[in-house]
């Protein structure tokens, strides 16, 4: 099958799954920013999503997209290393035309994956998972599985989680900023003129998304200090 056997096909899968994940992150960031305005309003959204059938379909769909994205990224990285062979050791200086992120996408991807696992442990396992299994594994003070506002407050009152999330989001910025414009390049929407434009658009867009996430982290952290 072309999407599996072809290098270009694999890149197309990476682009499509990457685009879907960027859209999800945009929605997730906007949802989180509601917590800056009202914790009660944020909990209403959490209750609306919860463990309903459409939320479960979305969760499973995202899990599949994420798995495909990481598996194909690993395959492409191994493929590129094999294609370069011993030549990859011959150059010690990065060419000016090559972004730092493009040479470290696998490392950045691993950091993003580890950060995702931490995030799932902090939130998903104490919210949607508890609804699905009718569990009671809540944090002391959490009023049920839809009390996301309390979890945000609890998590980001701890300095080490603030550091972990900052590192995670920084890695995510590098990963997404490179992936944004390379996505358009893969599908043929980026010529010599438009490549630079997509880079600028991508940097602005991804920066706004990451700043949205970071604002929640630091606002709640500084609130805990007061």
For the chain, domain boundaries: 2-83+101-225
Reference 25, options 220, 185, 180, 221; nearest CA is 180
**pLDDT over threshold 80, residue 80:** no
Average pLDDT estimate for 129-138: 91
- pLDDT tens digits for range 173-197: 998 888 787 777 766 666 667 777 8
Q: Where is mean pLDDT largest: 60-74, 94-108, 126-140?
A: 126-140
| Cα 200 to Cα 190: distance, rounded to the nearest angstrom | 13
DSSP code for 104 = S
Question: pTM of the entire structure?
Answer: 0.84
**C-alpha separations of 23 from 15, 92, 107 in Å:** 12, 36, 23
Reference 29, options 210, 177, 153; nearest CA is 210
Q: Can you tell me which residue has the tokens 């096909």? A: 9
CB 24 within 8 A of CB 63: no
Confidence grade of residue 166 (pLDDT, cut at 50, 70, 90): very high
| Cα 76 to Cα 13: distance, rounded to the nearest angstrom | 11
Domain 2-83+101-225 bears CATH identifier 1.20.120: no
The token pair that represents 61 in the structure block: 């769909």
The token pair that represents 171 in the structure block: 């890695």
**pLDDT over threshold 90, residue 6:** no
């Amino acid at each position: 099958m072309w999407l599996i056997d072809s290098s270009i096909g694999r890149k197309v899968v990476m682009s499509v799954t990457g685009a879907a994940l960027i859209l999800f992150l945009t929605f997730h960031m906007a949802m989180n920013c509601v917590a800056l305005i009202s914790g009660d309003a944020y909990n209403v959204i959490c209750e609306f999503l919860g463990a309903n059938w459409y939320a479960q379909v979305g969760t499973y769909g995202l899990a599949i997209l994420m798995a495909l994205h990481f598996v194909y990224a690993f395959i492409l990285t191994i493929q590129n290393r094999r294609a370069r062979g011993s030549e990859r050791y011959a150059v010690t200086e990065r060419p000016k035309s090559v972004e730092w992120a493009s040479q470290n996408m696998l490392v950045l991807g691993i950091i993003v994956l580890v950060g995702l696992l931490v995030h799932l442990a902090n939130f998903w396992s104490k919210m949607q998972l508890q609804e699905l299994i009718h569990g009671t594994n809540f944090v002391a003070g959490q009023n049920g599985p839809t009390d996301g506002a309390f979890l945000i407050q609890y998590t980001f009152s701890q300095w080490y989680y603030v550091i972990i999330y900052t590192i995670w989001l920084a890695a995510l910025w590098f990963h997404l900023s490179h992936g944004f414009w390379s996505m358009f390049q893969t599908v043929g929407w980026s010529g010599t003129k438009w490549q630079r434009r997509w880079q600028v658009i991508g940097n602005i867009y991804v920066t706004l998304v990451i700043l949205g996430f970071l604002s929640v982290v630091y606002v709640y952290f500084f609130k805990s200090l007061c």
